[in-house]
Each structure stands twice: as structure tokens, then as C-alpha cells.
Amino acid sequence: MTNSSIVMRETRYHQIKAVLARLRLDSSARLVALVDKDGQQIAVHGELGDLDTTSLASLAAGNVAATGGMAKLIGEREFPTLSHEGEKESIHICVIGRVLLLVVFDDRSSLGLVKLRSKQISNELAATFAEIEEESNVAGISLPFSEITDEEIDSLFSYQ
């Protein structure tokens, strides 16, 4: 997949939310989130409590970037999955093209179950994002204000 910008329609967003809800249920997870590799949250489903999901998304993306650097040092392209196990809570991260799937779970689940269910869902999410990207390209959708140049912005704020 390329790093070009994509635009997601509301129906696709709800489709992704349904996939996350199913993963959460099937893996007995506390929380499931989908973020892009830049750390921007796409969708979240589960027990949020007082969890700062924006920070979680950014830190997960940073974690993947850092371990990607380590992977390259040893001759790997990237590590497709990362897991962090704590006393009470654990996190499993799957790299799926341009997005990251985060699963937060506790002792109601196990790492093995989370890995299995995440792997099953990964193919579905990869296909969905390929379709979203194709829809963005076919529709010729551009980001708002993408045609405005830096010079035009500067002229708006300059004193003449």
C-alpha cells in the first residue's frame, strides 16, 4: 500500500467498527482500536474507562516505528506483531499495511487467543483498507484545501 491520503466514507467506518466489535467479543478483549502508522486514531471499540486513547494510538505508532528500526538492524523489514504483557493488562499490536490493530486485554483472555483472533481479522481489515484506498483513487477524492499553495496561505497573513 502507498502512503497516499485516503478518505473513508461513513459506511466503511461502520463496517470497520463492526469488525472491531466482533474481534473484541471473540477474543474477550477489553478494548480494540485501529490507528494509522502516524498515530491517528481511526476507530475504537470497548471499555474505554479513563483511558486516553489518543495517547495510546500515538505511543503504539511510536512503538511500532522503534521496533521497525530494530527489525531493519537485524535484516527484517518489520515485526508484524508486538505484544506487551503486564501484571493486569496486556497489549497486542498487529501491523496491517498502513494501519495498526491494538488489542488491550486482561486475565479474561490470553495472548494466544488474542493472537489467533487478531490474525483472522487482519486479512479482513487489509482487504477493507485496500477497497477504501481504491475508492479514494477512483473517486478522485482530494483532501480539503489540498490545492491551496503555501504562497497563497502566506499572502493571506501578510501585511500589505
pLDDT for 93 beyond 80: yes
As assigned by CATH, the class of the 10-157 domain is alpha beta
What are 10-38's pLDDT values in tens digits? 888 999 999 999 999 999 999 999 999 99
Determine the average pLDDT of the residues in 113-128.
93
pLDDT for 142 beyond 70: no
Q: Residue 2: pLDDT band by 50, 70, 90 thresholds? A: very low
- Return the DSSP state at 30: S
Domain boundaries along the sequence of the chain: 10-157
Cβ atoms within 10 Å, residue 153: 11
What sign does the CA torsion over 110, 116, 117, 122 have?
Answer: positive
Whole-number Å distance between alpha carbons of 53 and 127: 25
**What pLDDT, on the 0 to 100 scale, is given for residue 54?**
92
Q: Are 80 and 94 in contact (CB under 8 A)?
A: yes
pTM above 0.85, yes or no: no
pLDDT for 144 beyond 80: no
pLDDT for 1 beyond 50: no
Burial code (b: 16+ CB inside 10 Å, e: under 16) for 82-114 equals beeeeeeebbbbbbbebbbbbbbbeeebeeebb
**What pLDDT, on the 0 to 100 scale, is given for residue 129?**
87
Compute the residue count for the chain. 160
Pairing of strands 81-85, 41-46: unpaired
Helices (H), 1-160: 10-27, 53-73, 111-139, 150-157
